[in-house]
Amino acid sequence: MTTRKKAYRSNALQSLHLAAEDLHAVGAIDKLTMRRFDVACLTPVEGLQPEKIKRIRESAHMSQALFARALNVTTSLVSKWERGEKKPSGPSLKLLALADKKGIEAIL
């Protein structure tokens, strides 16, 4: 079983996920099934405020252009995120959350 802290959608899903982790640890369920449990049980990535996006970029010591390149988006889009004109979603939001949690090196 892993020791990192996880956020669950509910107590029932937490119990289910912990049981699935134990089954995975003994080989009773495969990696693909465990990934499906992860998606179903864990809390989705939360949205980010414009100031937070800018802090993530600045803590990585990157210009908007370089940050955009790391995220595979346009410089204009990063600018709009930081001004609050648009909100990141999907893969971009996931990459931003990962960069925030583990540092920009995690996505490069």
Residue pointed to by tokens 């465990």: 34
Residue 19 lies in a domain: yes
Residues 101, 82 share a domain: yes
| Domain limits for position 21 | 11-41
- Number of folded domains that form the chain: 2
Average pLDDT in the 2-23 region?
Answer: 79
Question: Is the residue at 23 inside a domain?
Answer: yes
98 in the same domain as 65: yes
Residues 55, 99, single domain; the answer is: yes
In a domain, 102, yes or no: yes
**pTM assigned to the model:** 0.65
Convert the pLDDT of each residue in 72-84 to its tens digit: 999 999 999 999 9
- Residue 9 pLDDT > 80, yes or no? no
Is pLDDT at 89 greater than 50 in this prediction?
yes
Q: What is the pLDDT of residues 22-67, one digit of tens each?
A: 999 999 999 999 988 888 887 677 889 999 999 999 999 999 999 9
Contact 56, 96 (CB under 8 A): yes
